[in-house]
Amino acid sequence: MPPILEIKNLNKTYKSGFKALDDINLEIQEGEIFAILGPNGAGKTTLISSICGITNPSSGTISVKGFDHTENYREVRKMIGLVPQELTTDMFEKVVDTVNFSRGLFGLQSNKLYIERILEDLSLSDKKKYSN
C-alpha cells in the first residue's frame, strides 16, 4: 500500500530568491499522526500550501495515496482537508453556506442531505440555519 502522503525532493524558491523549501523528503503512512513544527519562516505554510495545491513547488513531487498532486489534482483535493489558522469567511455566515463555499472550491455542488448528515455526525445540527 502506498503511503498516504509522499514528498520527494520538494523545493520552492520564490521570485524574490527566497528558498522556502530545500529538498524536502517525507513519507507518512495511513493512520500515522504527525505535526509540522518550526520557527517563523521555516517553510511550514509553504509546505502545507504545496501539498494542498495552493502553491506550486519549484521542483519535486507530492503524491497523496499514490496520486500525483499535479496530474491528479482533483482526486488529491478530494482527500485533503485544510483548516487554516486564520479564517477569512464572514463570521456571521451560516455554517451551511461556509460548507457549500468549501465544496465549491473543489468543484462539488451543494448537497443538502449530505451536509445535514455530516453536521449531525459532528453534533452541529443546531448550527445549520439554512438561508432562504
In the chain, domain spans: 5-79, 95-127
Give the mean model confidence (pLDDT) for residues 125-129.
71
**In this prediction, what percent of the chain has a pLDDT beyond 70?**
88
pLDDT at 45 over 60: yes
Mean pLDDT of 100-117: 81
Would you identify the CATH topology of the domain 5-79? Rossmann fold (3.40.50)
Burial pattern 61-75, b for ≥16 Cβ within 10 A else e, equals ebbbeebebeeeeee
What is the average per-residue pLDDT within 70-81? 84
Burial category of 76 from C-beta neighbours within 10 Å (exposed 0-12, middle 13-18, buried 19 and up): buried
Region 6-33: mean pLDDT is 95
Under the banding of pLDDT at 50, 70 and 90, the label for residue 81 is confident
Residue 41 CA to residue 22 CA, distance in Å, equals: 13
Instruction: Check: CB of residue 56 under 8 Å from CB of residue 20.
Output: no
Neighbour count for residue 89 (Cβ, 10 Å): 11
65, three cell numbers: 495515496
What is the per-residue pLDDT for 132? 43
Question: In the prediction, which pLDDT does 68 show?
Answer: 92
